[in-house]
Chains A and B, each alone.
Chain A
Amino acid sequence: MSDRPPVSAISSAARVFTLTWPSVAWARRTPWPLPLLAWPLLPPLLGRLAGVPSEWTASVGWIYRDVLLPLAVLFQASRLIRQDVESGTIVYLLARPAPRASIVAGQFAAYAAAALAVVLPAIAAGFVLGARAQGLDVLASALAASTAVVVLYGAFFMLAGLMLKKPMVPGLVAVLVALALSYFPGGLSLLSPTTHLRTLSGDPPPLPELTALMAAGVLALAAVACLATAVIVFKNGEYLPEP
């Protein structure tokens, strides 16, 4: 065993995923954001039960994409790695010859898989339940924007959880700042992820030259930047179990 070379980052990440998946998918705090994640299902369902037809996009609305989903993500993603520090399991992960980047990647993948497993089916089911028929392009845009929220905000809040001991309040402020910034006129609103998420969802962009593809590119770059920073922070950090 002593001569065995260190395991590759990708295969380590897959193994960290397997190890941490159960605790990421279901922990004591998990039930809290579940209603937020499942929100897309509720208005169409209630509308159908009450016999009040409504368009799915209008009934679910911006509040899900811009506020509720980011808040649910804040709950879930900010405790990645931190929950291992709190429970003491981080010591066992760091005692293994797995590159630290793989621990970040494996945990993030476990979180994203768990979140998307709730969000995407909820959106699809809500779309089907919606009383008025809408094109599949509306569903595709909603799925793409929600996936972007889970990935981008997840990466950002994971980083916040690594850098801050109590990331909830700053995270909440970040969500509100992103929302407020998106209402600023002209180019300034481009600094907000919310603007790009809206464009990805099919809303009219603040600048005519901004396309959905460009918005997706900006969001992907921002997510990669957050993840890369999280890897650097984790690589250089010390994580002692909390007493």
Chain B
Amino acid sequence: MTPALEFEGASRWYGPVIGINDVSLKVAPGVVGLLGPNGAGKSTFLRLAAGQIAPNRGRVLAFGTPTWGSSAILQRIGLSPETDGLWARQSGRDVVTSLLRLNGLEYEPARERATAALARVRLADVQDRRAGGYSKGMRQRLKLAQAIAHDPDLLLFDEPLNGLDPVNRRHVIELVKTLGREGKTVVVSSHVLHEVEAMTRRIVLINKGRVLAEGEVAEVRALLDAHPHTVAVRARDVRGLARELVALPHVRSVNFGTDGQWVTAQTAEPDAFYAAVQEHGDGCGVTEMYATDDDLESVFRYLVPR
């Protein structure tokens, strides 16, 4: 059976900077986490997979067809990129509708699919608002909506949980898992292990452009447990939130941001931490949360032979 995504000795560099280096792997249906620290080559991997850039060496194939230079194969690929730019003057629904029309749909079916996709990412109530007025979390979900709207078989999500509040974070995680259960191939990039762990057990570890390991997340997780995770939380009542967080047994420290809207906490148990914020967050007006730590760096120090 032809794999949904295949890298055959693919390398890509930007001048003297290596994006990815001699990567060979096959991705089967289901959810796969692409894990690595910032600058590891995750976005390059996804850009190659989406046909946005060409490999300097080797090949990148989706369903057996090279992704670079073949517009037809893009019918089967959905990309939610890291970049935030969208057509700010148009409503969320108009953006998705217009992009769907580039997939060959007529206006009415495109409109219907756009509405359904926006409902799937919980943007139905703001779908007719200008995309330029969306919060970061809403823009993130709009990007996901346009990626899934044409029902592609291969989905590429670059850091899809960035900027999401706890409730929507949980919802997007569920969405990714559902897409995997539906038989789609979903590649999700992240630099935060427990984010990926919430979505899948299958991971590809990447650092400095090289694939270090493929396999079950538990092995990597074991290496991480010794290190605290840093999480930034934005809330209206940061002091109230800090009081709640300090009381948690697994929270080692809490710091306030300089603008009075953020609090950062170090925790040894990120899952318990997120559950606690979920529980207490509403009262403190939590609007955004993301992990800031680069703990994977330490994992990579174990994994990369010196």
Contact = CB atoms under 8 A, between A and B. Distances in A.
B103 interface: yes
Interface residues of B, number: 34
B305 interface: no
Interface in B35-72: 47, 50-54, 71-72
Given A2-B151, A98-B71, 20 more contacts: A1-B103, A1-B150, A2-B153, A6-B75, A7-B103, A19-B99, A19-B102, A88-B85, A89-B85, A89-B86, A91-B85, A92-B86, A92-B99, A94-B51, A95-B74, A95-B77, A96-B74, A97-B103, A239-B52, A240-B47
A229 interface: no
Interface string A203-243: 00000000000000000000000000000000000111100
8 contacts: A4-B103, A4-B104, A5-B75, A6-B71, A22-B89, A91-B85, A95-B77, A239-B52
A87 interface: yes
Contacts, number: 97
B184 to A, nearest CB: 10
Contacts of A97: 71-75, 102-104
Contacts of B75: 1-2, 4-6, 97
Interface stretch (A10-18, A33-41, A166-174): A10-18
Interface of B: 47, 50-54, 71-79, 81, 83-87, 89-90, 98-99, 101-104, 146, 150-153
Contacts of A18: 98, 101
Contacts of A1: 75, 103, 150-152
Given A15-B98, A97-B71, A240-B53, A5 B104 contact: yes
B83 A5 contact: no
Contacts of B72: 5-6, 97
Contacts of B73: 97
Interface in A108-145: none
Nearest to A14: B101
Interface in A11-32: 11-12, 15-16, 18-19, 22-23
Given A19-B87, A97-B103, A92 B71 contact: no
Contacts of B102: 7, 12, 15-16, 19, 93, 96-98
Nearest to A94: B52
A109 to B, nearest CB: 15
B104 A2 contact: no
The 7 closest A-B pairs by CB, nearest first: A88-B85, A7-B104, A88-B83, A96-B102, A97-B74, A1-B151, A87-B85
Interface residues of A, number: 31
Contacts of B151: 1-2
Contacts of B84: 88
A12 B105 CA distance: 10
B87 A95 contact: no
Contact of A95 (B52, B101, B153): B52
A99 interface: yes
A100 interface: yes
Contacts of B101: 15, 18-19
Nearest to B63: A2
Interface in A137-172: none
Nearest to B150: A1
Contacts of A96: 74, 99, 102-103
Contacts of B47: 240
Contacts of B85: 87-89, 91, 241
B52 A238 contact: yes
A4 B50 CA distance: 18
Contact of B89 (A4, A23, A98): A23
Contacts of A5: 72, 75, 104
A12 B73 CA distance: 16
A72 B47 CA distance: 35
Nearest to A88: B85
Contacts of B153: 2
Nearest to A84: B85
